[in-house]
Structure 1
Amino acid sequence: MGTLARHWPRIAITLAPLVFALLHAVGALPIGFLNRLDAILYDARLRASMPRSMDPRVVIVDIDEKSLAEVGRWPWGRNKLAAMLDELFERQQVALVGFDVVFAEPDESSGLQRLRELAQADLRDAAGFRERVAQLQSSLDYDASFARALQKRPAVLGYYLTSERDARKSGLLPAPVMTRDSLKGRPIAFYSFQGYGSNIPQLAQAAPVAGYFNSITDGDGVVRSIPLLAEYGGAYYESLALAMFRVLAGHPAVEPGFPREHFVGRSYPGLDSVLLKLGSRQAAIPVDDKVAVLVPFRGPGGPMGGSFRYVSASDLIAKRLPAGALKDKIVLVGTTAPGLLDLRVTPVGATYPGVEVHANAVSGLLEGRLLVKPDYAMGYEVVVLMVAGLALAFLLPMLSATVAVLVSSAVMTGLLALNYFLFNTFGLVLPLASALVMAGAAFALNMSYGYFVESRSKRELANLFGTYVPPELVDEMVKDPDSYSMKASNKELTVMFCDMRGFTSMSERMEPTQLQELLNAVFSQLTEIIRANRGTIDKYMGDCVMAFWGAPVETPMHAQLAVKTALQITQAVRAINQEHRAKGIPDIGVGIGLNTGTMCVGDMGSDVRRSYTVIGDAVNLGSRLEGLCKVYGVDIVASESTRQQAREFSWLDLDRVRVKGKQEAVAIFHPLGPSGALDPQAADELRAWGAFLQAYRAQDWEKSELQLVNLQRLGAKKYLYELYAQRVASMRLLPFDPGWDGATQFETK
Structure 2
Amino acid sequence: MSARAPFAFALKRSGLRWALGLAIVVALAGHALGRYDIRFADSLDAMIYDAKVRLFMPRTTDKRVAILDIDEKSLAELGRWPWDRARMAELVNALFAREHVAVLGFDMVFAEPDASSGLAVLDELARGALADNAAYRRALEGLAPRLDYDQRFADALAGHPVVLGYYFSNQDASSGAIGAPVMNARAFGTHPFTLFDWTSYGGNLPALQKAAQRAGYFNPVIDFDGSVRRVPLVTAYRDGVYGALSLEVIRALFGDAAVTPRFDDPGDPAAPLSGLALTTPRGTRVIPVDENGAALVPYRGAAGSFPYYSVADVLARRIPAGALAGRVVLIGTTAPGLMDQRTTPVGEVYPGVEVNANLIGGMLDGTIRFRPPFAAALQALALAAAGLAMIFFWPWHAPARATLLGAILFAAIIGGDLYAFARLGWSIPMASLLLAVLALYMLNMSYGYFVEARAKRHFAALFGQYVPPELVEEMSRSPEDYSMAGRRAELTVLFCDVLGFTAIAETLEPEALARLMNEYLGTMTEVIRAHRGTLDKYIGDAIMGFWGAPVDDPDHARHAVAAALGMRAALVDLNRTLTARGWPTLWIGIGINTGPMTVGDMGSSVRKAYTVMGDAVNVAARLEGLTRHFDIDIIVGEATREQVPDIVFREIDRVRVKGRVAPIAVFEPQPPHEHADALTRWHAALAHYRAREWAEAETLLATLAAQYPERQVYALYRRRIDALHGVELPEDWDCVSAFDVK
TM range (shorter): 0.5 to 0.7
Q: Which amino acid aligns with 2:301?
A: G
Cα RMSD of the aligned pairs, angstroms, is: 2.3
Q: Which amino acid aligns with 2:311?
A: A
Within the candidate set 230, 234, 241, 1:229 is matched to 234
What residue in structure 1 maps to residue 400 of structure 2?
A: 402
Per-residue CA distance 1:103-137 (angstroms, 9 max, x = gap): 11111111112111111111122341111111111
Within the candidate set 154, 158, 167, 2:165 is matched to 158
Write the distance in 2 (CA, Å) between the matches of 1:106 and 1:357. Answer: 28
Residues 91 and 323, structure 1, Cα contact 8 Å, conserved in 2: no
Matched position secondary structure for 1:125: coil
Write the distance in 2 (CA, Å) between the matches of 1:7 and 1:40. Answer: 39
What residue in structure 2 maps to residue 172 of structure 1?
A: 177
Residues 191 and 273, structure 2, Cα contact 8 Å, conserved in 1: no
Matched position secondary structure for 1:47: helix
Write the distance in 2 (CA, Å) between the matches of 1:292 and 1:141. Answer: 39
Write the distance in 1 (CA, Å) between the matches of 2:157 and 2:422. Answer: 40
Relative to 1, partners in 2 of residues 1:365 and 1:27: Cα closer, same or farther, differing over 3 Å? closer
Relative to 1, partners in 2 of residues 1:202 and 1:423: Cα closer, same or farther, differing over 3 Å? same
Q: Which amino acid aligns with 2:74?
A: S
Relative to 1, partners in 2 of residues 1:38 and 1:78: Cα closer, same or farther, differing over 3 Å? same
Per-residue CA distance 1:655-694 (angstroms, 9 max, x = gap): xxxxxxxxxxxxxxxxxxxxxxxxxxxxxxxxxxxxxxxx
Residues 104 and 198, structure 1, Cα contact 8 Å, conserved in 2: yes
Write the distance in 2 (CA, Å) between the matches of 1:432 and 1:62. Answer: 38
Are residues 1:18 and 2:18 paired? no
Relative to 1, partners in 2 of residues 1:417 and 1:3: Cα closer, same or farther, differing over 3 Å? farther
Per-residue CA distance 1:385-418 (angstroms, 9 max, x = gap): 1122122223323562111111111111111111
Write the distance in 2 (CA, Å) between the matches of 1:66 and 1:380. Answer: 51
Residues 11 and 397, structure 1, Cα contact 8 Å, conserved in 2: no
Per-residue CA distance 1:464-506 (angstroms, 9 max, x = gap): xxxxxxxxxxxxxxxxxxxxxxxxxxxxxxxxxxxxxxxxxxx
Write the distance in 1 (CA, Å) between the matches of 2:321 and 2:281. Answer: 36
Within the candidate set 237, 242, 251, 1:246 is matched to 251
Write the distance in 2 (CA, Å) between the matches of 1:280 and 1:325. Answer: 26
Residues 254 and 274, structure 1, Cα contact 8 Å, conserved in 2: yes
Write the distance in 2 (CA, Å) between the matches of 1:281 and 1:296. Answer: 22
Residues 13 and 446, structure 1, Cα contact 8 Å, conserved in 2: no
What residue in structure 2 maps to residue 110 of structure 1?
A: 117
Within the candidate set 254, 276, 279, 1:274 is matched to 276
Write the distance in 2 (CA, Å) between the matches of 1:354 and 1:116. Answer: 39
What residue in structure 1 maps to residue 353 of structure 2?
A: 355
Q: Which amino acid aligns with 2:245?
A: L
TM superposition score normalised by structure 1:
0.57
Write the distance in 1 (CA, Å) between the matches of 2:362 and 2:62. Answer: 10
Are residues 1:298 and 2:300 paired? yes
Relative to 1, partners in 2 of residues 1:4 and 1:398: Cα closer, same or farther, differing over 3 Å? farther
What residue in structure 1 maps to residue 438 of structure 2?
A: 440
Structure 1 stretches of 4+ with a deviation exceeding 4 A read: 1-8, 10-13, 265-268
Larger mean Cα displacement after TM superposition, 383-392 or 284-293 = 383-392
Per-residue CA distance 1:617-654 (angstroms, 9 max, x = gap): xxxxxxxxxxxxxxxxxxxxxxxxxxxxxxxxxxxxxx
What residue in structure 1 maps to residue 710 of structure 2?
A: none
How far did 1:322 drift? 3.3
How far did 1:206 drift? 1.0
Write the distance in 1 (CA, Å) between the matches of 2:360 and 2:385. Answer: 38
What residue in structure 2 maps to residue 42 of structure 1?
A: 49
What residue in structure 1 maps to residue 455 of structure 2?
A: none
What residue in structure 2 maps to residue 332 of structure 1?
A: 330
Within the candidate set 196, 200, 207, 2:205 is matched to 200
Matched position secondary structure for 2:349: strand
Per-residue CA distance 1:270-322 (angstroms, 9 max, x = gap): 51111122479322111111110111111111xxx3x0111001111222223
Q: Which amino acid aligns with 2:46?
A: A
Are residues 1:74 and 2:74 paired? no
What residue in structure 1 maps to residue 373 of structure 2?
A: 375
How far did 1:60 drift? 0.5
Residues 396 and 445, structure 2, Cα contact 8 Å, conserved in 1: no
Residues 102 and 159, structure 1, Cα contact 8 Å, conserved in 2: yes
Write the distance in 2 (CA, Å) between the matches of 1:255 and 1:421. Answer: 31
Write the distance in 2 (CA, Å) between the matches of 1:231 and 1:185. Answer: 15
Residues 7 and 398, structure 1, Cα contact 8 Å, conserved in 2: no
Residues 163 and 245, structure 2, Cα contact 8 Å, conserved in 1: yes
Write the distance in 2 (CA, Å) between the matches of 1:64 and 1:105. Answer: 22
TM superposition score normalised by structure 2:
0.57
How far did 1:347 drift? 1.4
Larger mean Cα displacement after TM superposition, 367-376 or 223-232 = 367-376
Write the distance in 1 (CA, Å) between the matches of 2:359 and 2:342. Answer: 15
How far did 1:186 drift? 3.2
What residue in structure 2 maps to residue 135 of structure 1?
A: 142
Matched position secondary structure for 1:157: strand
What residue in structure 1 maps to residue 39 of structure 2?
A: 32
Write the distance in 2 (CA, Å) between the matches of 1:450 and 1:187. Answer: 45
Are residues 1:149 and 2:156 paired? yes
Matched position secondary structure for 1:403: helix
Q: Which amino acid aligns with 1:66?
A: K
Write the distance in 2 (CA, Å) between the matches of 1:316 and 1:36. Answer: 43
Residues 287 and 374, structure 1, Cα contact 8 Å, conserved in 2: no
How far did 1:86 drift? 1.5
Within the candidate set 219, 222, 235, 2:224 is matched to 219
Matched position secondary structure for 2:402: helix
Q: Which amino acid aligns with 2:78?
A: V
Write the distance in 2 (CA, Å) between the matches of 1:180 and 1:197. Answer: 21
Residues 163 and 248, structure 2, Cα contact 8 Å, conserved in 1: yes
Q: Which structure has the greater CA radius of gyration?
A: 1
Matched position secondary structure for 1:128: helix
Q: Which amino acid aligns with 1:368?
A: G
Residues 443 and 449, structure 2, Cα contact 8 Å, conserved in 1: no
Matched position secondary structure for 1:407: helix
Residues 190 and 269, structure 2, Cα contact 8 Å, conserved in 1: no
Within the candidate set 274, 285, 288, 2:287 is matched to 285
Write the distance in 2 (CA, Å) between the matches of 1:274 and 1:414. Answer: 33
How far did 1:48 drift? 1.2
What residue in structure 2 maps to residue 57 of structure 1?
A: 64
Matched position secondary structure for 2:67: strand
Residues 94 and 327, structure 1, Cα contact 8 Å, conserved in 2: yes
Larger mean Cα displacement after TM superposition, 182-191 or 171-180 = 182-191
Matched position secondary structure for 1:397: coil
How far did 1:324 drift? 1.7
Residues 315 and 321, structure 1, Cα contact 8 Å, conserved in 2: yes
Relative to 1, partners in 2 of residues 1:333 and 1:4: Cα closer, same or farther, differing over 3 Å? farther
Relative to 1, partners in 2 of residues 1:139 and 1:323: Cα closer, same or farther, differing over 3 Å? farther
Per-residue CA distance 1:47-101 (angstroms, 9 max, x = gap): 1111111101111000011111111111101111111111111221111110001
Per-residue CA distance 1:127-169 (angstroms, 9 max, x = gap): 41111111111211111111111111111111111122xx211
Relative to 1, partners in 2 of residues 1:13 and 1:196: Cα closer, same or farther, differing over 3 Å? closer
Relative to 1, partners in 2 of residues 1:195 and 1:29: Cα closer, same or farther, differing over 3 Å? closer
Aligned residues: 443
Identity %: 44
Structure 2: runs of 5+ lacking an equivalent? 451-742
Q: Which amino acid aligns with 1:195?
A: S
Write the distance in 2 (CA, Å) between the matches of 1:276 and 1:60. Answer: 24
Matched position secondary structure for 1:418: helix
Residues 396 and 444, structure 2, Cα contact 8 Å, conserved in 1: no
Relative to 1, partners in 2 of residues 1:267 and 1:450: Cα closer, same or farther, differing over 3 Å? same
How far did 1:244 drift? 0.6
Q: Which amino acid aligns with 1:369?
A: T
Relative to 1, partners in 2 of residues 1:7 and 1:298: Cα closer, same or farther, differing over 3 Å? farther
What residue in structure 2 maps to residue 424 of structure 1?
A: 422
